[in-house]
Each structure stands twice: as structure tokens, then as C-alpha cells.
Structure 1
């Protein structure tokens, strides 16, 4: 019997918890093994995913999950675009969805909440660093919430026996670049 896809009814976006890590790890592993949204070639372990989550949280940045009926459908987090401290107001977003949650609006819910929370903690710019210029779903998601094209880095990655571009998109958060950060 086929299971019907989830609807947005009953989906809630919340802070991730350590007990979400198995689902987060599985969602990301699927993206690594079958997608071009990440240029990672080998899925990280759950321990490595926990370390990455801890890094984000140590910077007081959000790491969110979307769940429905106790099932994690996707996750999103913001992290410094680059590690040097001057980049701390420029947040790179990451959004990953379980296959059954794609195309239903779950990504938009996650990204909208992520933008709001990153703005609340002082983020002034959000960048999308999208793997694969053919990743039309991610590009459309970002455009739908106000991101604009910022450039393309051609043939930046090699995965699945082909060259992949990186699409850069950007959106101001809060006051953007108007005035000094608090």
C-alpha cells in the first residue's frame, strides 16, 4: 500500500534536539548519495553530524527541524558564511528535506523560520550557496522568499562524473547593511 505524501497540516518547525540526529543524519546521507545539493561525497556519521550541529549552536545560531506526527521531514540551519569573525553577520543557510517531503512547502516553512531566527540573533545577510545550477527546486525556494542571484561559480565541484556549478543567492535580513550591527 502506498503511503500518501504529507500535507502541511500538523507540521511544526522547532529547535532540533539531540534525539533528532538519526533522522537528520539519514536525510543528509540521502542527499549526499543521490543529490547534487551538497558536494560531499561520503555521508558523515551521526557523531560528525552532532559535532556540526554543536558548532552551529555554539555560535547561537538556529538549527531547526520540521516534524509531523513525530517524524522529522527536514532540517535547516544557519552558519557563518566563512569562519573568520568578520563574517559573523553573514549567515549561510542549509535546508535538507526527506524525499517524501519535497515539493510540498516544507522547505519554505523551514527557510522562512530560519531567516526570522537568524535575523533575531543579529544576522544581516543570508547567503544560499546552492550546489548544482540544475538544482531548480532550491533556486526556486530561495527566490520565493526574496533571495536574488549573486553569481555562479562554474564547474566548482566534480560529483557523479560531471562538473557542477555553485549558484550564489543573497537576501538581506533585518536592517541588512543599513547601519552598524548592534
Structure 2
């Protein structure tokens, strides 16, 4: 299947993502059309026991649209990938669920978001989280490495979704879990390609 996106398209989309989430790294409040922070976590029914252990400065950085843990259970000792980890809230929940014998790797393409995730991790003293800067859709991990891959509101941002979904399949162990939540576009499709790229966040 051929690509619909040129190199320039991908550069522009990546630049737009970085510009948007550089602001979000400071605070997600007012940046989205849906709730963020504690209100969102409570509405989406995240584990209340874990949520109760998180300070406001950590909770405030949440900006997901769904709860990946509502569609599958994390077992103790799992190796987990958080694809597009952002400020690391799902990463933290997963780390607490898998425990000290497990590990969670969070990756993101925006350095500012990774820095916020590191601050959140350090704030809590969590030691089973590793954070890495991602280069994009291709995952720099060996095949059949992860027990579970989670992703929250990230796939919608990626131009070539088929590539990253194939990478998920490659990197999951046989019988592994993909806990993916996202948002869908509903409305009249923008058919002109250049206009579609320019309006990626609208």
C-alpha cells in the first residue's frame, strides 16, 4: 500500500504536534475540547486507589480521551510499552499495576512532554519506568518484546496508521494485549490533501 504523505507532509505534521504539545507540557488546561486532569481521570473511571496516591501537580498533566485499563488487565511482572506517553500518567498507572518485577517503557516524540513525564516519575519515586524519545512510527525494540502495549489518544495524530499498527503486532509477544483508546473524526471529510495536512489539529 503506497503512502499518501510526502516527507514534507510528515515534517509539517510533526512540527505541528511539537508546537501543540510543547504548550500542553506546561498545562493541558484550555488546550482541548474535553476535560483534563483529575476531572478526566475520575470521569473515565481510572483506578481510584492509585489515583488517590497521586499529587495534584502530577494529576493535572493528564490529557487523554479514554482509559486503556478499562479494556484489559495489567498483570504483575509485565513488560509494557506506553506509545505516546505524553506526561506519563498512563505510564505511572501501568507501573503501579505491573509492580517492581515489571517494567514500563514510555516513548514520545515531544521532548517537552518527556521532561514532564520524568518530573512526574521523579515526584513519585517510581523506579520501574524508562522514558525514551521516539523517532516516529517505527519502534526501536526487538520483536515479541512486550506483554502489553497501551496508547491513549495518539494514533489519531499519526499520518500512516498502518505502519505503527504493524509495529505493535511485531513487538507484542504471542497472546499479548493492545490496549488502545483514541478519538475519531466525525464530520465532513477534508478531501484536498494540502488543506488536510494544514488542518491536522482542527
Normalising by the residue count of structure 2, what TM-score does the alignment of the two structures yield? Answer: 0.29
Higher strand share: 1
Higher helix share: 2
Normalising by the residue count of structure 1, what TM-score does the alignment of the two structures yield? Answer: 0.31
